[in-house]
Structure 1
Amino acid sequence: MVDRSSSRKTRVGVVVSDKMDKTVVVAVRDTFRHPLYGKTQRRLTKYKAHDDANTCGVGDRVRISETRPLSKTKRWRVAEILEKAK
C-alpha cells in the first residue's frame, strides 16, 4: 500500500494576493535548464491555494501541497506559513 500523503507535491512560494475568501494566490519561483540550449532560466508560476482560516497575508512565505480539486482552478492547499510578512 502506498502512503498517499508523502507522494503529494509541495512547493514554497510567496503570497501575492489574499483578496478572495479562503483562497490565496502563491507565486512560486522555479529555475530550470533549457533542454536544447542548456541556458538556466527562471520561471514564475502562480497557484491558487486553499487557506481555510484566512490567516495568510500578502508577502508571507508559505508551503503549499497538492490536493484534490477544490474548485475549477484550486488544486493546492496551504500546508504551513514559513515566515510572516514584516
Structure 2
Amino acid sequence: MPKRVLEGVVVSDKGDKTVVVVVQRTLLHPVLKKIVRLSKKYHAHDEANALKVGDQARIIECAPKSKLKRWEVLSDSSASAS
C-alpha cells in the first residue's frame, strides 16, 4: 500500500526534532452543497530541525515514532528557505 504524502504549513517547531504541520483540505458539503475548508494538525518527525514556523512542509506516513508522531518530513522540502 502506498504511503500518503500531505502538504501543509508548519505552525510549531518547539519540540526537539518535531514540527506540527497544519494541512488544509476542501470538500463539498453533502447537504449544503457548499465548499467547506477543513484543517488538521499532524505531528511530524524533523530529524535535522530544519523547518521553522511558516515554512511549507511535505510529510509522509511512517511507523510510529512516539505517542503522537506517525509522520515524517520529506527531505526534499527541508531545503526550502524562507
* Length-normalised TM-score, structure 2: 0.88
For the Cα contact (< 8 Å) 1:15–1:26, is it kept in 2? yes
Query: Unaligned regions of 5+ residues in structure 2, if any?
Result: none
CA distance, structure 1, for counterparts of residue 81 and residue 55 of structure 2: 5
- 1:84 alignment counterpart: 81
CA offsets per residue over residues 58-86 of structure 1, 9 Å max, x none?
Answer: 1110110011111111110000327433x
Counterpart of 2:19, as a letter, is V
- 1:14 alignment counterpart: 9
- The answer on 1:44 being equivalent to 2:39 is yes
1:74 to 37, 59, 69: 69
CA distance, structure 2, for counterparts of residue 61 and residue 84 of structure 1: 9
Query: Unaligned regions of 5+ residues in structure 1, if any?
Result: none
* Length-normalised TM-score, structure 1: 0.84
CA offsets per residue over residues 15-65 of structure 1, 9 Å max, x none?
Answer: 010000000000111101122332210011110000001111111101100
Percent of pairs with identical residues:
49
- 1:30 alignment counterpart: 25
Counterpart of 1:81, as a letter, is S
In the alignment of these two chains, the number of paired residues is 80
